[in-house]
């Protein structure tokens, strides 16, 4: 299993929004970047862990955990002219864009801010901290994943439990 950081503007779609979906499940769609598309289509798999990150707010932070529950499949919003993510190049035969489904796992007792991450020897290397990084789907190491759980104040036993919850 692998770990990821999914970035979203909470004004657009927040962790709370995910939590309130039926069974806490929502398609992660509207991604229109080829590098992220390739990850969603080919690499992200059910059981993978997701750090849910809120961007473009006064204190951007990892705010919760989710898990992947469905592997990459065509992003139908690209086919819908009514959708903000409509792409005229997409067809049934060649969908161009892909999405996965994720499921809410938990909120962190306290968000882990960028400052928190910068101050941590393991987390300081995270892609999300790198200047100019705009990828909305970023790989995260297991070490980084566990460091987030630990920094969040989750006890080791609870962290293990969360880890298992993600694997499903």
Which residues contact DNA (rule: CB under 7 A)?
7, 9, 33-35, 55-58, 60, 114, 128, 131-134, 136
Least CB distance from residue 33 to DNA, whole Å?
5
Least CB distance from residue 124 to DNA, whole Å?
12
- Which of 85, 83, 69, 86 has the alpha carbon at shortest distance from 136? 85
Distances (CA, A) of 160 to 145, 149, 150, 157: 11, 9, 10, 5
Minimum CB distance to DNA smaller for 44 or for 162: 44
Minimum CB distance to DNA smaller for 21 or for 114: 114
Minimum CB distance to DNA smaller for 22 or for 81: 81
| Distant-in-sequence, close-in-space partners of 112: CB < 8 Å, separation ≥ 6 | 61, 62, 123, 148, 151, 152
Bridge partners, 161 (sequence order): none
Least CB distance from residue 130 to DNA, whole Å?
7
């Amino acid at each position: 299993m692998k770990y990821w950081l999914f970035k979203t503007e909470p004004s657009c779609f927040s962790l709370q929004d995910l939590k309130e979906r039926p069974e806490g499940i929502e398609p992660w769609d509207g991604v229109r970047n080829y590098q992220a598309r390739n990850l969603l289509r080919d690499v992200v798999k059910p059981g993978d862990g997701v750090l849910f990150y809120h961007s473009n707010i006064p204190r951007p932070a990892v705010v919760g955990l989710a898990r992947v529950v469905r592997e990459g499949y065509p992003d139908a919003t690209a086919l819908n002219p009514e959708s903000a993510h409509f792409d005229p190049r997409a067809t049934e035969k060649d969908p161009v864009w892909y999405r996965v489904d994720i499921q809410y796992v938990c909120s962190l007792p306290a968000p882990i801010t960028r400052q928190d991450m910068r101050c941590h020897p393991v987390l300081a290397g995270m892609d999300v901290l790198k200047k100019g990084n705009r990828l909305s789907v970023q790989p995260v190491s297991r070490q980084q994943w566990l460091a987030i759980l630990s920094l969040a104040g989750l006890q080791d036993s609870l962290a293990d439990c969360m880890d298992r919850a993600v694997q499903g």
